[in-house]
Amino acid sequence: MTSTLADDRTEGPVTPRYPGMKVTQARVFNSEWTKFRSLRSTNITLLVSVLLTVGLGALISAVTASHWASASPADRATFNAVVTSLDGVNISQLAVGVLGVLLLSGEYATGMIRASLTAVPKRLPVLWAKLGVFAGVVGAVSVAAAFGSFFLGQSLLSSKHLNVSIGSPDALRMVLGAAVYLVLVGIIGMALGGLLRNTAAGISSLVALFFVIPPVLGLLPTSWSDRIGPYLPSNAGEAFWGHPTGTHLSALAGLLVLCLWAAAAVAAAAIRLKKVDA
Amino acid sequence: MIEVSGLTKRYGDKTAVNDLSFTVRPGIVTGFLGPNGAGKSTTMRVIAGLDAPTSGSVLVNSADYRRAAVPMAELGILLEAKAVHTSRSAYNHLLALAQTNGVPKSRVAEVIDLVGLREVARKRAGGFSLGMGQRLGIASALLGDPQTIVLDEPINGLDPEGILWVRNLLKSLAAEGRTVLISSHLMSEMALTAHHLIVVGRGELIADLDVEEFVALASTNVVLVRSPQASQLRDLLLGPDVTITSKEAGVLEVRGVSADAIGDLAFDHHLRLHGLAVQQASLEDAFMEMTRDSVEFHAHAANDRTEAPERLPQTAGDRR
């Protein structure tokens, strides 16, 4: 190194120009919030999930009420006013899950991930911030949507006096459970997006996990499906927000199992993010 | 400062970078030069901490960038591949990056003005032209006012005015005592922008020298000798610092011996000369000459050489 070009000021750690400059988890969280709200597709997907939750719940409640007179005894026996009003969740979980996938896989598809990880080379704070922003926003929106579905559905069912109040047994647990379920599905989606780093692959595996494997499992001998079935994420979820039936786990066990699914998926995504070249 | 030592990076069984060592010093613009597939982008990805080295190490400002507390003050980087979410506006893109490191909002506006994107800052980055995308990339690299700046092909897609702007920007950043590394496959551009050159080919170091030295090497005259007794003349001319190539029978391209000396030698040995001409090699020619052995994808020209080309001498230790 020639002495004229060497610059002593550059030895050792750099003094940042802006006081207090430093990566903190709160700042990365803030950044992810900026990213989240500045994508139109994110907001549209979120809106779609709300419309599906509330709209389908209302539609199914209205149809059930209008056909009540001609409903079969079996249908009447399995009818549950809370589940009927929350039925939209069965479909809106797809929108929420896809949103989760997109929030991570979209960064890989566009190359944004390189900018994100260069700004935060420790990497994991980006994943935690993304999960936090997603859980916060989707949680708040889903709670609102679940209560909206419940009250709209109950008012539609009230024409046949089929409605229940929020104070009735299990009603509040199921409404809040539906919101929690949506958040957990979204988190699994996000983990799949990060694990596979590809939108199509992420959405496919999400659909497989929630919509394909459960019915396929039904084709297996009951001794198998009865043993494995309750532990699938969709069935574990139904145990705490859906129709309580004998084949499901208890509500608490269901919540625990789904949380374990989400935790395992997030752990795998975190390891892949940290260890594998971006 | 960037210190690359013994860096090897393999993707599966393909070696992208092989035992590469060099130092990028502060205060000057360093050009990172090599043909496509030479390992420039891979090296830059390792510098940025995006890819982990298979072996060896890279230090940015004497530390591992992957553990930096204030990454954006240490290193600003523009990678060749776009790193922007296409649906987000330029402003929000820069804001989100700035927020991670605690860079104030005022700086976002400042870099937008600096790169001349104020008018389109609220538009979707996906609709940007290549040149605008480059300006946005440069803006994000400069956000944290970094000590070290690494830009992969920064002039790609820029118009002549933009190229001049980048050139002056890089020189002024270097003059402030920063470390500036820019890659290119255009030697002529590097000669105008850089002070020092790191030349790589097939993932290995070919040369580490000042631009002035390179230009001096490049302007070594080539003497074109036409003789019916070319092979005898060739044997007489060969020496330690002499390079001789031949593209067609009876014609020699001689480096390292003056035209006068060749004429005198031919006369002394009674060899007939039909032509003796001095040719000035361009920088681009010299670069091609230097990297010829290491070009990843040759266009198969019908250009059979009767003799293997010899390399230009290396100034930074022979690595073969």
Nearest by Cα to A126 from A118, B138, B65:
A118
- Band (pLDDT 50/70/90 cuts) for residue A9 is very low
- Per-residue pLDDT for B312 more than 50? no
- What tokens does B299 get? 């266009």
Residue B36 DSSP code: T
Tell me which of A16 and B176 has the higher pLDDT: B176
- Supply the mean pLDDT for chain B: 87
Cβ B208 vs Cβ B2: under 8 Å: no
pLDDT, tens digit (0-9, with 9 covering 90-100), for A150-160: 999 999 999 88
Residue A18 maps to a domain: no
- Band (pLDDT 50/70/90 cuts) for residue B302 is very low
Residue A173 maps to a domain: yes
- Band (pLDDT 50/70/90 cuts) for residue B220 is low
Nearest by Cα to B3 from B30, B37, B41:
B30
Which residues lie closer than 8 Å to B145 by C-beta, 6 or more apart?
A16, A17, A18, B73, B107
Q: Which residue type is seen at B118? A: R
**Percent residues over pLDDT 90 in chain B:** 63
pLDDT, tens digit (0-9, with 9 covering 90-100), for B49-64: 999 999 999 999 999 9
pLDDT, tens digit (0-9, with 9 covering 90-100), for A24-37: 999 999 999 999 99
pLDDT, tens digit (0-9, with 9 covering 90-100), for B119-133: 999 999 999 999 999
Q: Using a CB-CB distance cutoff of 8 angstroms, which residues of chain B are in contact with residue A277?
A: 45, 50-52
Residue A93, pLDDT score: 96
Question: Cβ contact (<8 Å) for A10 and B26?
Answer: yes
Edge to edge, the sheet with strand B222-226 lists B243-248, B251-255, B222-226, B275-279
- Band (pLDDT 50/70/90 cuts) for residue B222 is confident
> Which among B26, B71, B107 is the nearest to A120, CB-wise?
B71
- Per-residue pLDDT for A244 more than 80? no
Cβ A117 vs Cβ B49: under 8 Å: yes
- What tokens does B70 get? 């204030």
Residue A112 maps to a domain: yes
SS3 A8: helix
Q: Using a CB-CB distance cutoff of 8 angstroms, which residues of chain B are in contact with residue A21?
A: 70, 72-73, 101-103, 144
Residue A246, pLDDT score: 64
- Per-residue pLDDT for B320 more than 80? no
Question: Cβ contact (<8 Å) for B89 and A38?
Answer: yes
Nearest by Cα to B141 from B198, B101, B188, B186:
B101
Domain count, chain A: 1
**Could you give phi then psi for residue B18, rounded to 5 degrees?**
-125, 110
Residue A10 maps to a domain: no
Identify from B94, B101, B150, B171 which residue to disrupt to test chain A contact, counting A C-beta atoms within 10 A and taking the largest count: B101
pLDDT, tens digit (0-9, with 9 covering 90-100), for B155-202: 888 999 999 999 999 999 999 999 999 998 888 888 889 999 999 999
Q: Using a CB-CB distance cutoff of 8 angstroms, which residues of chain A are in contact with residue B28?
A: 5
Give residue A61's domain range: 23-275
Interval A242-265 mean pLDDT:
88
- Band (pLDDT 50/70/90 cuts) for residue B293 is low
Residue B286, pLDDT score: 75
Interval B279-307 mean pLDDT:
60
CA distance A7 to chain B (A): 6
Question: Cβ contact (<8 Å) for B84 and A111?
Answer: yes
Sign of CA dihedral A163, A169, A171, A174: negative
Residue B296, pLDDT score: 52
Cβ A265 vs Cβ A191: under 8 Å: yes
Instruction: Kindly report the length of chain A.
Output: 278
Tell me which of B241 and A261 has the higher pLDDT: A261
- Per-residue pLDDT for A4 more than 80? no
- Per-residue pLDDT for B317 more than 90? no
Contact status of A104 with chain B (Cβ, < 8 Å): no
- Supply the mean pLDDT for chain A: 91
CA distance A39 to chain B (A): 6
pTM for this model (two decimals): 0.84
Q: Using a CB-CB distance cutoff of 8 angstroms, which residues of chain B are in contact with residue A117?
A: 49-50
Question: Cβ contact (<8 Å) for A106 and B81?
Answer: no
Q: How many CA atoms lie within 13 A of B67 on its CB side?
A: 6
**Percent residues over pLDDT 90 in chain A:** 76
Residue B118, pLDDT score: 94
Residue A16 maps to a domain: no
Q: Which residue type is seen at B204? A: E
Sign of CA dihedral A217, A222, A228, A231: positive
Cβ B43 vs Cβ B202: under 8 Å: no
pLDDT, tens digit (0-9, with 9 covering 90-100), for A40-98: 989 999 999 999 999 999 999 999 999 998 889 988 888 999 999 999 999 999 999 99
Whole-number Å distance between alpha carbons of B102 and B85: 21
> Which among B61, B71, B99 is the nearest to A31, CB-wise?
B99
Residue A127, pLDDT score: 98
- Per-residue pLDDT for B98 more than 80? yes
CA B50 to chain centroid, in Å, comes to 21
Residue B219, pLDDT score: 65
CA distance B230 to chain A (A): 45
Question: Cβ contact (<8 Å) for B71 and A1?
Answer: no
For residue B33, give Cα distances in angstroms to A240, B206, B211. 61, 10, 11
Residue A6, pLDDT score: 41
Question: Cβ contact (<8 Å) for B72 and A21?
Answer: yes
pLDDT, tens digit (0-9, with 9 covering 90-100), for A160-216: 889 998 988 889 999 999 999 999 999 999 999 999 999 999 999 999 999 999 889
Any bridge partners for residue A278, and if so which?
Answer: none
Helix, strand and coil in chain A, % to nearest 5: 75, 0, 25
Task: State which residue of chain B sits closest to A39, comparing Cα positions.
Answer: B88
Question: Cβ contact (<8 Å) for A114 and B79?
Answer: yes
Residue A214 maps to a domain: yes
SS3 A119: helix
Task: State which residue of chain B sits closest to A110, comparing Cα positions.
Answer: B85
Residue A193 maps to a domain: yes
Residue A72 maps to a domain: yes
ipTM at complex level: 0.89
Q: Using a CB-CB distance cutoff of 8 angstroms, which residues of chain A are in contact with residue B61?
A: 10, 12-14
Nearest by Cα to B136 from B149, B163, B160, B154:
B154
Cβ B311 vs Cβ B253: under 8 Å: no
pLDDT, tens digit (0-9, with 9 covering 90-100), for B226-263: 999 998 999 888 888 888 888 888 899 888 888 899 99
Residue B289, pLDDT score: 73
